[in-house]
Structure 1
């Protein structure tokens, strides 16, 4: 039976419901003044919590809707206005003939390339929102709309917070689902840009893996507990998205990329470029330090050049200082790895013996700066792999190298089969660090393990002393 058409604010005819959930009903409506179709979201106020709580929720909804109206973007549902009528808020929005990502995923998970294309559109809108100072707070498949023409749009900015969604009520019940919450939000902290990034990662994880990062639970409080821990099974179907997805889902907010950086990396992946370990543009607060570092590096380089010129000038008449001719034995080539040596496995990062790696004039042989904590040092080590193996080798203690009894050549030969390693879910207990390692093979596959390391401090920085 057709819903009876209702008139709102003597302007909007509510034609039919086209969606809804715990927070309210979305109507397809007709705007008589502008003669266009719009979407009208009728928000349901909380029941059984008193008139004061209902008024607070209504006022928050009105405020959040007005904030969301500041954002106009081709991949975000535009908010045209908000009305307070029949003692509840109504949000007037752009109408998009569409289905939600949540509905689409009932058919099964999506292909990696399709998820990348979808994510680029989402990121472009969310990055614009963050630049405008707007935190979405409820990124999930149900709030991602897939238009009939292939357009992807995000909706419901700020509404979950306004209506008290995913909050424990006075009776211990939960309104909404915590399945896409960042760990810090699940623990009761305020939502931030970084928590939006996590929720985007959780949404992409669900689209690829066919299930939410925290799994399912009949008891929503149990699900909230899982969310607060941040423990997530590593993705297995995400292919080239694995390194970026792992960073989006990092339990530490400061370790996640910004939404702008995420969009940039997604576009590079879509173009077939490798972005896993490319340094990103520093945030504004870090640029001053970067500039100072550049100046210092320039001065050091100038001093080195001056020293080289002096040496060459003094020694140009001395035959003993002449450079060896091309092809002479002075130009050493790395020996081919012996087939008799067993191949290392990802669970045992292959440090060599106490011998030093071959000398190199490349700046890539310089070890990374000291990390503040053992966990940060471990993450810094794997960020070097496989692009800077000499610096990675220098992060291993002699004790570790002796225990493995391996050469630098063997170490290098092992890592040539891998494109990247990502570190997630890091936990520290003194100098013992446990982390989830995801190895991305050069062939495209991935392997994952949970490993524990003992770190020691030498010369002001942490080195890897053993692994189990």
Structure 2
């Protein structure tokens, strides 16, 4: 039968295949009743089992598809209908011209900023699903679609597991890949919300590191063994995303954050990101009120070329009069800020030195990959115009750091200031570090405000101005970091991390 003449339910005309895999074929199709383009997924059922087991697989697929069809979320592909035709399930879905995240990752390296943007969007859909009691069960790069404008959507809620994908079969063969499976799922346990968190973490890890957290293996059985044991290779390129990734990839499901927490932290990291060009230019909207995300099996469409980001600072339709008013207000605000800073400096000069001393405070998780402290060789620059918090005057740092005799002691003293005294800790970051991270005092304090404790242990010098430490965030899983320290006016400061 010619593709052009093939119809489903005398309503949907199949135009061309746009993707496919172990689960079936995805077609671009025309809904002739509503006159719109849709994507239709033709699910393939296993034929290596008896008729009874094949029927069970079909029923599971239909059930999971109907669940997905009830979900609605701006970052999940919508399922319009679930049909049974030619003795197998068909899913009628939203058509999104796009590429899969797997294709994008394969084409060129994904920056940490891009991974955060994609992760923030997908975690919002998964968080909505979890609030509705729905587990995705197969989060991986191939199930994330990215459109031309950078919008990301998750697909295939529950479908892959319903028809037996990604599992060890009775014959010892592996259907699918265990590269993104949570350890407990690889051991045969049922997938739950924590398993989705791990799989999203593994997806973001693969995007920035270029491989699965379990490494690479030609033998899928060996990869499954590593997955079941939870043996991951620590990330080396994830930068400020590292602390969150390590928590998401914790072997114990109880130690992983919830998907709501993942979304919040990714949004915070997104707001801290440096301005600059990105292949995935879309920003993430504010958290959706809808408590149910839509997710559907969909295979990437064939068209999607990442667009250049819009010119920074562009403002839509501002009249000349309004623009003059804005300039006047801005000028007035700038003069007021100058006056305030001068007044503060005069007051500080009149205070006794001990008034500036900051006692060590309860530790707080460093922005290890996100906001690594860096010392400032000169007075801390005023925050950017977007920042609303005025940083403390950057005089030479005071005790306990001023009393440190070496770089290792200085790093320990830095973490002792956090989270209770970010004002003094901020002074121990160099201008080079701040500019390299696009950091302002406002984003710095907001970052540290999210944590309760941080502990730096096994701090030791490994070379000239190089210090290593194991940093533990909120009592969770720790990570090993390397810091470059420099002396400014006799005080050790952090110049880089990683």
Work out whether the TM-score is over 0.5.
yes
Matched, 1:225 2:225: yes
Partners of 2:143 and 2:9 lie apart in 1 by 26
Where do 1:47-196 residues align within 5 Å? 47-196=47-196
SS in 1 for 2:403: coil
Higher relative contact order (CA 8 A, sep 6+): 2
Q: Please, what TM-score do these two structures have when normalized by structure 2?
A: 0.61
Assess, with a 3 A threshold, how the Cα gap between structure 1 residues 166 and 444 changes in structure 2: closer, same or farther: farther
Q: Please, what TM-score do these two structures have when normalized by structure 1?
A: 0.64
Partner residue of 1:337 out of 403, 418, 436: 403
| Per-residue deviation, 1:5 | 3.9
Partners of 1:7 and 1:154 lie apart in 2 by 27
Where do 1:336-375 residues align within 5 Å? 336-337=402-403, 339=405, 343=408
Is the CA contact (8 Å cut-off) linking 1:102 and 1:142 kept in structure 2? yes
When Rg is computed on C-alpha atoms for both structures, the one with the higher figure is 1
Is the CA contact (8 Å cut-off) linking 1:14 and 1:30 kept in structure 2? yes
Where do 1:271-286 residues align within 5 Å? 271-272=271-272
Partners of 1:436 and 1:89 lie apart in 2 by 46
Assess, with a 3 A threshold, how the Cα gap between structure 1 residues 221 and 328 changes in structure 2: closer, same or farther: closer
Partner residue of 2:479 out of 437, 444, 448: 437
Is the CA contact (8 Å cut-off) linking 1:143 and 1:155 kept in structure 2? yes
Matching residue of 1:264: 264
Matching residue of 1:304: none
Matching residue of 2:46: 46
Once the two structures are superposed, what CA deviation does each residue of 1:330-355 show, in whole Å capped at 9, x if it has no partner?
x996484354x584799xx89xxxxx
Is the CA contact (8 Å cut-off) linking 1:109 and 1:206 kept in structure 2? no
Assess, with a 3 A threshold, how the Cα gap between structure 1 residues 423 and 176 changes in structure 2: closer, same or farther: farther
Is the CA contact (8 Å cut-off) linking 1:116 and 1:270 kept in structure 2? yes
Matching residue of 1:290: none
Is the CA contact (8 Å cut-off) linking 1:14 and 1:29 kept in structure 2? yes
Partners of 2:401 and 2:170 lie apart in 1 by 70
Is the CA contact (8 Å cut-off) linking 2:407 and 2:467 kept in structure 1? no
Is the CA contact (8 Å cut-off) linking 1:124 and 1:260 kept in structure 2? yes
Once the two structures are superposed, what CA deviation does each residue of 1:24-70 show, in whole Å capped at 9, x if it has no partner?
00000111111111111001110121111110110000000011112
Assess, with a 3 A threshold, how the Cα gap between structure 1 residues 12 and 439 changes in structure 2: closer, same or farther: same
SS in 2 for 1:55: helix
Assess, with a 3 A threshold, how the Cα gap between structure 1 residues 232 and 335 changes in structure 2: closer, same or farther: closer
Partners of 1:240 and 1:252 lie apart in 2 by 23
Assess, with a 3 A threshold, how the Cα gap between structure 1 residues 40 and 444 changes in structure 2: closer, same or farther: farther
Assess, with a 3 A threshold, how the Cα gap between structure 1 residues 113 and 342 changes in structure 2: closer, same or farther: closer
Matching residue of 2:28: 28
Task: Note the residue ranges of structure 1 that are not aligned, 5 or more in a row.
Answer: 274-324, 351-356, 365-382, 427-434, 447-468
| Per-residue deviation, 1:422 | 5.1
| Per-residue deviation, 1:439 | 2.6
Assess, with a 3 A threshold, how the Cα gap between structure 1 residues 53 and 271 changes in structure 2: closer, same or farther: same
Assess, with a 3 A threshold, how the Cα gap between structure 1 residues 86 and 387 changes in structure 2: closer, same or farther: closer
Assess, with a 3 A threshold, how the Cα gap between structure 1 residues 185 and 35 changes in structure 2: closer, same or farther: same
SS in 2 for 1:191: coil
Partners of 2:57 and 2:400 lie apart in 1 by 68
- Greater displacement, 183-192 / 99-108: 99-108
| Per-residue deviation, 1:228 | 0.6
Matching residue of 1:286: none
Aligned residue pairs: how many? Answer: 338
Assess, with a 3 A threshold, how the Cα gap between structure 1 residues 206 and 5 changes in structure 2: closer, same or farther: farther
Partners of 1:180 and 1:5 lie apart in 2 by 39
